Amino acid sequence: MSNSAMMSVSSLNTKIKSLLESTFMHILVEGEVSSATYHTSGHLYFSIKDKESSLKCVMFKSSVSKLKFRVEAGQHIVVNGSISVYTPKGEYQLYALDIEPFGQGALALAYEQLKAKLQEKGYFDPTTKKPIPKIINSLALVTAKDSAALHDMLKIIEKRWPLLDITIVDTLVQGDNAPEQIAKAIRYADKQNIDVIVVARGGGSKEDLWAYNSEIVADALHFAATPTVSAIGHEIDVMISDFVADLRAPTPSAAMEMILPDKFEILQILANYLDDIKRFFEHQSALKTKILSEIYQNLILNSPTNKMKTISAKYEQVIIDLKNIIDFKLSSIQNLPIDITNSLKNFTTHRLVQKEQILNDTRNQLLSLDPRKRVVDGWAQVLVDDRLIKLENISIGQKFVLQDKTTKLIAVCEEKSKI
């Protein structure tokens, strides 16, 4: 055996490495994932297999960060990479640069994976959704400040509810840095003490809208204390953010139509309320006027003046009745015998005395109703709190009123004795 043909293990592994790397560059290999391990370093170590054999693979951190989905055992995938040898162990493996699901787009698979994950965590539970206020006074719009979506939303706001206090939170809406910026913007808006947060973006390709299918944005929406609205793309675009937010709107403009009241409808409602209030007060005014009129009539009917008129009318009627009786009796006496005439005269005289007494009583009753006649000359009424009171009921030091026909005195009892 010639020494010139001998080589070390390392030399052989190095030659094999050089040969394989120059031969198997940028190859596509499809197979089923048999194992997958995400290392703390960020690298991905996995194996793919078919019915006959298996192949070890590794994907470094820089490439793993660009994956749209998570590699898991059982998946049928296509790996784009190069064959190389790990010289210390003499093992060859496939160094992956990119991975795609076999027969399915990476974005579609990533979407379904994240949707299933968040569904299991309860992010889509309708019982956890916060209600959107019926009347919104302040609103945060999380979108690009120069976007057509923002312009459309502001136009609808001006048309429907221009009194709204608007906070525009500018953010990227697409690209690799967009998910982190959108999540940060949502968290910022959540601290501004506003009524609703609207996360909005106009239409675009699946790749353009992908930021709203990210877990970081889903987390920001789920943990926001403020009610949130997801208004991404067009009606046919359904994002993960649509499932997580408290309300999904098909477009940014539709979001404004859905959550904001129409000022013309509000004005009509207020006009109807005003008419109802006006009718109520008119009815109450008429009702109170009627009640006051009835009270006034009762006061007139029961007033001392009215009672005096009634008694005076009765008195005058008694006079008339008495005169008629006398005339009738006198005419009857003239036609009777003398004895009967004398008896009738005596009877008539007796009756006249009785009627005169009734007449005097009625006159005295009438006069007694006149306050000016109630007090005899030389005497005065004693009043406390406008009520008649006996002198014996007045205490020493108590204030009282002495009142006669013309004068009213306020006095204080300084001394008291019985007579």
Q: Of 104, 127, 160, which one is at a domain's C-terminal end?
A: 104
55 and 82: one domain? Answer: yes
Residue in the structure block whose two tokens are 């060859």: 92
pLDDT score at 146:
92
Residues of the chain with pLDDT > 70: what percent?
92
Residue 121 within a domain: no
Residues of the chain with pLDDT > 90: what percent?
39
CB-based burial label for 29 (10 Å; 0-12, 13-18, 19+): middle
Higher-confidence residue: 73 or 20? 73
151 and 179: one domain? Answer: yes
Residue 110 within a domain: no
Contact 96, 66 (CB under 8 A): no
Total tally of structural domains belonging to the chain = 4
152 and 256: one domain? Answer: yes
Contact 160, 260 (CB under 8 A): yes
pLDDT score at 341:
61
pLDDT score at 344:
65
CA distance 140 to 170: 10
257 and 308: one domain? Answer: no
Contact 34, 54 (CB under 8 A): yes
> Which helix (H) or strand (E) is 81 found in, with range?
strand 76-86
pLDDT at 286 over 80: yes
Contact 80, 60 (CB under 8 A): no
Residue 281 within a domain: no
Cα–Cα distances in angstroms (integers) from residue 291 to residues 174, 249, 288, 298, in the given order:
74, 58, 5, 11
pLDDT at 374 over 60: no
Lowest mean pLDDT segment, chosen from 103-112, 148-157, 223-232: 103-112
167 and 254: one domain? Answer: yes
Contact 92, 86 (CB under 8 A): yes
Cα–Cα distances in angstroms (integers) from residue 258 to residues 252, 261, 309, in the given order:
10, 8, 76
pLDDT at 275 over 60: yes
pLDDT tens-digit profile of 81-123? 988 888 888 888 999 998 888 876 777 788 888 999 999 999 9
Residue 216: name the closest of 258, 245, 180, 173 by CA. 180
Residue 293 within a domain: no
Contact 245, 229 (CB under 8 A): yes
pLDDT tens-digit profile of 195-204? 999 999 998 8
Q: What is the pTM of this model?
A: 0.52
CA distance 41 to 418: 118
225 and 149: one domain? Answer: yes
Neighbours of 157 (CB within 10 A): 17
CATH number at 28 reads: 2.40.50.140
pLDDT tens-digit profile of 337-372? 656 667 767 777 777 778 778 877 777 766 655 555
Cα–Cα distances in angstroms (integers) from residue 115 to residues 111, 128, 251, in the given order:
6, 17, 21
Give me 250's structure tokens.
Answer: 């098909």
26 and 90: one domain? Answer: yes
Residue 114 within a domain: no
Q: Of 205, 231, 261, which one is at a domain's C-terminal end?
A: 261
Q: Which domain holds residue 389?
A: 381-412
E strands, 249-393, are: 381-384, 387-388
pLDDT score at 245:
97
Q: Of 232, 261, 290, which one is at a domain's C-terminal end?
A: 261
Residue 40 within a domain: yes
CA distance 133 to 246: 11
